[in-house]
A and B are shown apart, each in its own frame.
Chain A
Amino acid sequence: MKRFIAMMLCLAMTTMSFAGCGGSSEPAEEAAAPAESDVIKIGVFEPLTGANAAGGELEVEGIKIANKLYPEVLGKKIELVVVDNKSDKAEATTAVARLIEKENVSAIIGSWGSGYSIAAGDLVKTNQVPAVGASCTNPQVTQGNDYYFRVCFLDPFQGTVMANYAYEKLGARKAAIIQEVSNDYSVGLASFFVTAFKELTGDENAIVATANYNTGDMEFSSQITTVMAEKPDVIFAPGNFTESALIVKAARQQGIDVPIIGGDTWETNEFIEVGGADVEGCVMSTFFDENSPLTDETTKFLEAYKAEYPDKNVAAVTALGYDAYLLIYKAIEAAGSAEPQAIRDAIAQTTDMAGSTGLISINAEGDADKNSAVIKIVKDGKFEYYDTVVLG
């Protein structure tokens, strides 16, 4: 009997280690391509299944629209190779390895979720293939990596924007943090918020409580109870959209009406679908608002998007996916070559490229110089524009 249970346990643990491997992989898109030399391949790695699937899908929508509007460069067709990183860091490196080694892509776009991008960073660097992140906001994505670029703002900026919002608009003096401890993005953004908030209040103890949770958790009542025991004025809870929606729900179920605010990852339809009426009034920072077009490219993108998806609101990450593609496209054009190294050098020199989310200039760190963020609020089951924040 003892031996039998021991054997069962071994098997249970083996199952555990495989648990992350479920989910089907997306087959390479448009398999029937012309001969190898006539196409330029751009790899895309995004979470298409698992916890972050909705975010990845939004980004891929933008990339595909860009591909439709800009299908050819240097007389060659551009082929997108989309692979699924399954919302898993280990799978992210596998996905990128496959893009580089098997598909021989010229450049890579991805990924929603800074952690996946950071995990893939080393591969991109050692293989010298340029990668452009669309919405990965953690500073570590491009730090010390000459081959990783991005088209969005960074978390120190975003954290400051949300701290300012909490301090000025909500009049909060005590804040609590609920962070997704296994997610680099969430932990990073929370710590930048903490720094900015302490500075604003001039109070070393302005953060009264910090609670952690894991990706995929569904039970948050105890975190909420723990945090609320310290009576914060506001809860900052950056993290994945589904878990975040459940956190807000758990709080409202305990009859708590403290404002709960978050970051750019919240802006997905699933956040509202899962959260329902409970997420009304939640506030988050994001990159872009469809009602205030910034360049001609914005209009072009919006028209194409509305034609393709007439009923959907445009998410900021979709626009960023579009811009990430465009950045690579323009770099190939400028370099006059599809060699990864040439593309990398051209991307690094990009200045004032008109993207759908504004003008993009790449700085020495490989980041887009962006100093404005949009604040949105959930109202009547929709993300509504609230404010634009520009920081010097």
Chain B
Amino acid sequence: MMDMATFMQHITNGVSVGSLYALIAIGYTMVYGILRLINFAHGDIFMMAAYFMVFGIITFQLPWYLTVIITIVLTALLGMLIEKCAYSTLRDAPKTSILISAIGVSYLLENLSTYLFTGKPRAFPEIAGLAQTFQIGSVTMQRVSVVIPIVAVILGIILLFIINKTKLGMAMRAVSKDYEIARIMGIKIDRVIASTFAIGSALAAVGAILWGVKYPQVQPMMGVMPGLKCFIAAVIGGIGNIKGAMLGGFVLGLGEILLIALLPQLTGYRDAFAFIFLIIILLVRPTGLLGEKITEKV
């Protein structure tokens, strides 16, 4: 059987994967909460952010802290650009049309980056010694594994603060309730939606930077699986709910790692596990773990 040290190592691995999922899932859930739109391009925006890091540090030789800022800004702008071109023009169309447009954007980004950056994987640059390891007892972990949960929780709190306490947040909540009425009430909904996308994409950028430190390989399809997994995490937690997305991310990450740890022969079904888990949650609790409190909706 598994000894304590091995078990603790698995738990550490799980928490670190889970908080990474959580970080990306809050971006998903936020856009959904406000626009009722599953932004399927989220995973690909995430991928583009990883490429921005590679180009900033390796190609242009910029210092890492500058590159991090540039990456977050560029990714936020990319999110706004996508919203402007692909979604804002469809604001009065049925929701399904916007969804299809989102899938289109996703393929566009994947193929564009395959064409521009080739399909070959690039190495993600090392930043600030985050990839180095240290030991607590018999458990070895990377520094980034500690940083990820902290960043995820802090960003989650900041996001909740923005939504619940600021004027922009109030406008966002109004738009999420009914944007027609919000528009009549004098809220500039275009600006509110653009900022939603900017924040959501910036979160994807932070996720991509930490993801890259942990799994230092960048390629055009890298956003597909994390995108789907974090979508699942968001639904498990109750889509539209930020706390739920964080919880969903943790549960999914830990669950996946423990599946591999306890039933190694089922490792090949790791991705299937995520989907089966989703189906079970939807059957038992269709609104997700924390989805019932309507007031929590951003």
Contacts and interface: CB of A to CB of B under 8 A. Distances in A.
Identify which of A23, A214, A222, A276 gathers the most chain B CB atoms within 10 Å of its CB. A222
Interface string B229-264: 001000100010000000000000000110011001
A5 interface: yes
Nearest to B110: A22
B111 A24 contact: yes
Dominant SS among interface residues on chain B: helix
Given A49-B119, A213-B267, A274 B217 contact: yes
B9 A225 contact: yes
Contacts of A22: 107, 110-111, 114, 220-221, 224
B287 A211 contact: no
Contacts of B224: 19, 22
B11 to A, nearest CB: 10
B267 A246 contact: no
Interface size class for chain B?
A: 35 or more
A51 B287 CA distance: 36
Contacts of B215: 218-219, 246
Contacts of B131: 253
B92 interface: no
A12 B14 CA distance: 25
B107 to A, nearest CB: 6
Contacts of B106: 15
A242 B121 contact: yes
A9 B282 contact: yes
B190 interface: no
A6 B235 CA distance: 11
Interface in B1-57: 2-3, 6, 9-10, 13-14, 16-17, 36, 38, 40
A214 B239 CA distance: 28
Contacts of B267: 181, 211-213, 223
B111 A276 contact: no
Interface string B158-195: 00000000000000000000000000000000000000
26 contacts: A4-B36, A8-B38, A9-B235, A12-B231, A22-B110, A49-B220, A51-B121, A53-B118, A53-B119, A181-B267, A182-B268, A216-B221, A219-B215, A219-B256, A219-B257, A222-B13, A223-B260, A225-B10, A225-B13, A229-B3, A229-B6, A246-B217, A254-B133, A255-B133, A276-B123, A276-B216
Which 6 A-B pairs have CB atoms at the shortest separation, nearest pair first? Answer: A49-B119, A218-B215, A53-B119, A212-B267, A221-B13, A22-B110
Interface of A: 1-2, 4-9, 11-12, 15-16, 18-19, 22-24, 48-51, 53-54, 57, 181-182, 209-214, 216-219, 221-223, 225-226, 228-229, 242, 245-246, 249, 253-255, 270, 273-274, 276
Given A16-B228, A54-B120, A225-B9, 14 more contacts: A2-B286, A7-B96, A11-B103, A23-B220, A24-B111, A49-B118, A50-B119, A50-B221, A53-B118, A57-B120, A214-B271, A273-B122, A274-B121, A276-B126
